[in-house]
Amino acid sequence: MAKKFIDEFDVNLETKITETHDDYDAFPNKELLEKLRNEIIQSLIDNNIKSHETMDDFVKAQIDQIITGYDLSLEERSYIQNLIENEINGYGPLTELLKDDELTEIMVNGKDQIYIEFNGHIIKDSSVSFINDDHIVRVIQRLIQPLGRTIDIAHPMVDARLADGSRLNAVLPPLSIKGPVLTIRKFKAELANIDDFLRTGTLTPDMARFLEACVHAKLNIIVSGGTGSGKTTLLNVLSSFCFSDERIITIEDAAELKLHQTHVVSLETRNEGYEGTGGVTIRDLVINSLRMRPDRIIVGEVRGKEAFDMLQAMNTGHDGSMTTMHANGPADALNRLETMVLMNGIEIPVIAIREYVENAINIVVQMQRFSDGKRRVVSIDEIVGMENGEIKLKQIFSYKQTGVLENGDVVGEFFQHKYTPKVYAKIKSKGIDDLKDLFE
């Protein structure tokens, strides 16, 4: 069953790659074209340009010189010209991939080890390649140069946001054992909205209504899940429920949230300079945001000491705050919060930290990406208090996988548990009374 699904998916991907890139496989001289491409690009890398020669003249001369004597069609010559154009004015083998809005991730593990995420699946793209490690480094430098960043032996790692919002991470030897590694998380101009979630079965209409009521009632919410599970996308959807007259401060490592309210202040961290100074962390921004008269604070992701400051904000009148974090489940998320607070080195008894968390957080929403690439809200829990020194959670909604179809699609069922949540009283106290059919 799994093999059949993979075979069918590979066929779809091959069609996708053919549509996206030049029809390379249609050329009878494809091995020759690859050889010529490599020779021309190597000349560019070596930068053997005479002082009186422009880049265009150099490239034209190189192409004319290298392809002389070969019987190439006009289409093949055009193909070579396009590849070199991508090298000069684009980003080499990644040029077309970066233009493709359907791809969500580009991963370069080596010169001929390029992977893409398409429809939630990671697949090796054999239609593109680099000629060597120097070629990879050249493309990385071209990507980050407009940002005022650099990467070399002295600074072998870079994390940056491209002009279109995509996130780039690159690592060079000796940190990377096998050679340069590049990862680009593509930026989506328009993140999914609640209608998209309902259409794709990420959650049910009742779950959507409940989460919207939670945001309107200014409950504090954590969205947890694994890497690529859709946490940021869900956070953006929840943020869209905020009222337009509220002052919202968003804090992120790389600005991905797209709020359409009129009164939004977006803050972004800054890495340290070469001298090891000038860095601004999530924690710095959270602390500063408290002086900016926020109605809500939305943190893209907490993963360190800033968790303590976030909890402080939630416990001191900044209701309606939201954030995401990596965790395998709601209980794991709360355990991780506890650990993050302890990272501050503050001598607080564990029981006091748990009470702090219990008072600050109302709702934990768990996201999960399944084997078919689809993301779903697998549980919505509320914190109901303490029991024997442990924070107690109660499930309101959940999703259970029941099987996998022959085409690889995961099937399952959403449940609303027969339970009236404690937060329902707080929701009603805010004048929100459209959930009676769910909980009364």
Q: Digits of tens for pLDDT over the chain (440 positions)?
A: 334 434 444 445 455 544 444 454 555 555 666 666 677 667 666 655 555 556 667 666 766 776 666 676 777 666 666 767 767 777 888 988 998 888 889 999 999 999 998 877 889 988 888 888 988 998 999 899 888 888 988 889 998 888 887 889 999 999 999 999 999 988 776 667 899 999 999 999 999 999 999 999 999 999 999 988 999 999 999 999 999 999 999 998 877 888 889 999 999 888 776 666 778 889 999 999 999 999 999 999 998 889 998 898 888 888 999 999 999 999 999 999 999 998 887 788 899 999 999 999 999 999 999 988 899 999 999 999 999 999 999 999 999 999 999 988 999 999 999 999 999 999 999 999 889 999 98
Contact residues for 17 (Cβ-Cβ < 8 A; gap 6+): 125, 127
Whole-angstrom distance, CA of residue 207 vs CA of residue 233? 16
Cα(379)–Cα(330) distance, integer angstroms: 8
Residue 407 DSSP SS3: coil
- CATH topology for 194-439 is Rossmann fold (3.40.50)
Other beta carbons within 10 angstroms of residue 172's beta carbon come to: 21
Range list of H helices, 21-130 = 30-46, 55-67, 74-89, 95-99
Topology, domain 1-21+94-188: Beta-Lactamase (3.30.450)
| Alpha carbon distance, N-terminus to C-terminus of the chain | 44
CATH 3.40.50.300 domain position(s) in the chain = 194-439
- Cα atoms found within 13 Å of the Cα of residue 328, Cβ hemisphere only: 2
152: tokens are: 């070399």
Let me know: does 63 contact 81? Beta carbons within 8 Å. Answer: yes
Nearest to 355 by CA among 391, 328, 380: 391
- Order of strands across the sheet with 113-118? 121-124, 113-118, 103-110, 181-185, 167-171, 157-161
- Pick from 46, 124, 37, 51: nearest CA to 86: 37
Portions of the chain given CATH number 3.30.450.370: 1-21+94-188
